Amino acid sequence: MARVLYGPEPAQVEHWVEDQRERLYTGRAVELVTGLKALQLTLSARAKRDAGKRDALSDLIGYLEKRLSMMAYKDLIEGDMVIASGIVEGAARYVVGERLDCSGMRWIPERAEALLHLRCIELNGDWERFFAWGYHRWLDHMQVGQRVLIRSNQAEPLPTGASIEATDCQGLEPSQRAKAA
């Protein structure tokens, strides 16, 4: 947008971009959009020289207005959250790509999803807790006389955080359960 407005003037382009970035990252996205609208009003409505600028500003304003609720960058930055997509893309490539995207692999969606759940459990360092959850579940089934199938054609629901925490507390005395919870 800055290049459309100021052309090949690198100093003006850089200054304008920094002003807008500062507004955006300090939680003043509404002020940024209001400023863009004010800038649009300064352009001639009839002059052909301003037609490209008006169109570009209209597109940018329309894009930003629809996403104002998503632009809480100040809060995200203060919460030490990631605001760039590169880290997310890299994580997806690492979690998904390195396991499922090898030469010649083809996946049924349900099995791929189950494998990705397991990969996330492993990468988060929760493999031992997950295995203990499954083991205790098998023990519970055997204690009531049910057969335990380790392999089946039917997918079993993966544990939730609450069910794993309940399993973590099963072997503890009542006083220790309260401390663990």
Work out the pLDDT band at 181, boundaries 50, 70, 90.
very low
User: What is the value of pTM for the model shown?
Assistant: 0.53
Question: Which pLDDT does position 160 carry in this prediction?
Answer: 74
DSSP single-letter state for residue 129:
H
Higher-pLDDT residue of 14 and 180 is 14
Tally DSSP H helices, then E strands, for the chain. Answer: 11, 0
How many angstroms separate the CA atoms of 115 and 104, rounded?
A: 17
Quick count: other Cβ atoms within 10 Å of Cβ 130? 18
* Cβ pair 114, 158 in contact under 8 A: yes
pLDDT in tens, 151-174: 767 766 766 777 767 766 665 554
pLDDT in tens, 44-56: 888 888 889 999 9
Higher-pLDDT residue of 150 and 68 is 68
Region 111-116: what's the mean pLDDT?
Answer: 88
Question: Which pLDDT does position 56 carry in this prediction?
Answer: 93
Which one, of 100, 113, 96, 122, lies nearest residue 155 by Cα? 113
Element (H, E) at 8: none
Higher-pLDDT residue of 84 and 39 is 39
* Cβ pair 30, 82 in contact under 8 A: no
